[in-house]
Amino acid sequence: MTDIPVVIVDDNVTDRYIVRRRLAKAGGFGQIFEADNGDDFLNRLKNGDFHNEPPDAPLLILMDVNMPRKTGFETIAELEELIDKGAQQPSMVVMMLTSSSNPRDMEQAEQLETINGYVFKPLDDEGVRKIHTLYR
Protein backbone atom coordinates (compact mmCIF):
# COMPACT_ATOMS: atom_id res chain seq x y z
CA MET A 1 0.00 0.00 0.00
CA THR A 2 1.33 3.42 -1.00
CA ASP A 3 1.48 6.18 1.59
CA ILE A 4 -1.06 8.91 0.86
CA PRO A 5 0.39 12.39 0.18
CA VAL A 6 -1.76 15.04 1.93
CA VAL A 7 -2.39 18.78 1.79
CA ILE A 8 -4.28 20.27 4.74
CA VAL A 9 -5.89 23.60 3.82
CA ASP A 10 -7.17 25.28 6.97
CA ASP A 11 -6.79 28.77 8.43
CA ASN A 12 -6.65 27.44 12.00
CA VAL A 13 -3.17 26.35 13.08
CA THR A 14 -4.56 24.19 15.91
CA ASP A 15 -6.90 22.34 13.55
CA ARG A 16 -4.01 21.69 11.13
CA TYR A 17 -1.90 20.38 14.01
CA ILE A 18 -4.67 18.01 15.17
CA VAL A 19 -5.18 16.65 11.64
CA ARG A 20 -1.42 16.23 11.13
CA ARG A 21 -1.04 14.36 14.45
CA ARG A 22 -4.10 12.17 13.82
CA LEU A 23 -2.88 11.19 10.35
CA ALA A 24 0.64 10.46 11.64
CA LYS A 25 -0.79 8.28 14.42
CA ALA A 26 -3.01 6.38 11.98
CA GLY A 27 -0.19 5.62 9.54
CA GLY A 28 -0.50 5.12 5.82
CA PHE A 29 -0.04 8.81 5.04
CA GLY A 30 3.04 10.20 3.35
CA GLN A 31 4.32 13.73 3.33
CA ILE A 32 1.84 16.21 4.80
CA PHE A 33 1.79 19.71 3.37
CA GLU A 34 -0.13 22.65 4.83
CA ALA A 35 -1.69 25.84 3.48
CA ASP A 36 -3.44 28.36 5.68
CA ASN A 37 -5.86 29.71 3.06
CA GLY A 38 -7.28 29.00 -0.37
CA ASP A 39 -5.09 31.48 -2.24
CA ASP A 40 -1.92 30.07 -0.67
CA PHE A 41 -3.04 26.55 -1.61
CA LEU A 42 -3.82 27.46 -5.24
CA ASN A 43 -0.58 29.42 -5.70
CA ARG A 44 1.54 26.66 -4.23
CA LEU A 45 -0.32 24.04 -6.29
CA LYS A 46 0.36 26.00 -9.50
CA ASN A 47 4.04 26.29 -8.48
CA GLY A 48 4.31 22.52 -7.99
CA ASP A 49 5.06 22.81 -4.27
CA PHE A 50 3.00 19.73 -3.40
CA HIS A 51 4.83 16.64 -4.58
CA ASN A 52 3.08 13.31 -4.99
CA GLU A 53 5.33 10.52 -3.75
CA PRO A 54 5.19 8.22 -5.58
CA PRO A 55 4.32 10.46 -8.56
CA ASP A 56 1.30 8.36 -9.56
CA ALA A 57 -0.30 8.60 -6.08
CA PRO A 58 -3.24 11.01 -6.13
CA LEU A 59 -2.81 13.96 -3.80
CA LEU A 60 -5.30 14.00 -0.92
CA ILE A 61 -6.59 17.50 -0.19
CA LEU A 62 -8.38 18.13 3.10
CA MET A 63 -10.11 21.49 2.56
CA ASP A 64 -11.65 23.54 5.36
CA VAL A 65 -15.05 24.98 4.42
CA ASN A 66 -14.98 28.28 6.31
CA MET A 67 -11.86 30.35 5.78
CA PRO A 68 -11.34 34.11 5.47
CA ARG A 69 -10.86 35.69 2.02
CA LYS A 70 -11.83 32.56 0.09
CA THR A 71 -14.00 29.71 1.33
CA GLY A 72 -13.11 26.10 0.70
CA PHE A 73 -15.90 25.91 -1.87
CA GLU A 74 -14.58 28.97 -3.74
CA THR A 75 -11.10 27.44 -3.68
CA ILE A 76 -12.38 24.13 -5.07
CA ALA A 77 -14.35 25.94 -7.78
CA GLU A 78 -11.10 27.66 -8.87
CA LEU A 79 -9.30 24.32 -8.73
CA GLU A 80 -11.94 22.82 -11.02
CA GLU A 81 -11.41 25.71 -13.48
CA LEU A 82 -7.66 24.97 -13.51
CA ILE A 83 -8.34 21.29 -14.18
CA ASP A 84 -10.85 22.13 -16.95
CA LYS A 85 -8.28 24.42 -18.60
CA GLY A 86 -5.63 21.70 -18.40
CA ALA A 87 -3.50 23.87 -16.11
CA GLN A 88 -3.68 21.30 -13.31
CA GLN A 89 -3.68 17.53 -13.25
CA PRO A 90 -6.89 15.98 -11.91
CA SER A 91 -4.99 13.32 -9.93
CA MET A 92 -6.27 14.33 -6.53
CA VAL A 93 -8.85 13.33 -3.98
CA VAL A 94 -10.60 16.28 -2.34
CA MET A 95 -12.45 16.02 0.96
CA MET A 96 -14.05 18.88 2.82
CA LEU A 97 -12.84 19.17 6.41
CA THR A 98 -15.15 21.15 8.65
CA SER A 99 -16.88 21.56 11.97
CA SER A 100 -20.03 22.67 10.14
CA SER A 101 -22.97 20.31 9.93
CA ASN A 102 -24.95 22.88 7.95
CA PRO A 103 -27.05 21.02 5.35
CA ARG A 104 -26.35 23.79 2.80
CA ASP A 105 -22.61 23.12 3.09
CA MET A 106 -23.18 19.41 2.52
CA GLU A 107 -25.40 20.15 -0.50
CA GLN A 108 -22.78 22.49 -1.93
CA ALA A 109 -20.11 19.80 -1.46
CA GLU A 110 -22.24 17.39 -3.47
CA GLN A 111 -22.58 19.92 -6.33
CA LEU A 112 -18.84 20.23 -6.94
CA GLU A 113 -17.69 17.18 -8.87
CA THR A 114 -14.14 17.34 -7.52
CA ILE A 115 -15.25 16.82 -3.92
CA ASN A 116 -15.12 13.16 -2.93
CA GLY A 117 -16.39 13.38 0.63
CA TYR A 118 -16.86 15.26 3.85
CA VAL A 119 -15.13 14.72 7.23
CA PHE A 120 -15.67 16.57 10.47
CA LYS A 121 -13.31 18.39 12.82
CA PRO A 122 -11.85 17.52 15.13
CA LEU A 123 -10.64 14.62 13.00
CA ASP A 124 -11.11 11.33 14.83
CA ASP A 125 -10.48 7.65 14.08
CA GLU A 126 -13.79 7.37 12.19
CA GLY A 127 -12.80 10.35 10.02
CA VAL A 128 -9.42 8.77 9.26
CA ARG A 129 -11.15 5.50 8.27
CA LYS A 130 -13.49 7.46 6.01
CA ILE A 131 -10.50 9.18 4.37
CA HIS A 132 -8.79 5.82 3.77
CA THR A 133 -12.02 4.38 2.31
CA LEU A 134 -12.74 7.31 0.00
CA TYR A 135 -9.11 7.64 -1.11
CA ARG A 136 -8.87 4.06 -2.29
Mean pLDDT of 83-111: 87
Residues 46 and 136: their CA atoms lie apart, in Å, by 25
29-71 residue pLDDT tens: 999 999 999 999 999 999 999 977 777 789 999 999 999 999 9
Name the pTM for this structure: 0.94
Domain parsing of the chain, residue ranges: 25-100+112-135
Confidence band of 86 (pLDDT split at 50, 70, 90): confident
Query: What number of other Cβ atoms are within 10 A of residue 55's Cβ?
Result: 8
pLDDT value, residue 38? 97
CATH topology for 25-100+112-135 is Rossmann fold (3.40.50)
Residues 75 and 77: their CA atoms lie apart, in Å, by 5
pLDDT value, residue 1? 56
What is the percent of the chain with per-residue pLDDT over 90, rounded to a whole number? Answer: 70
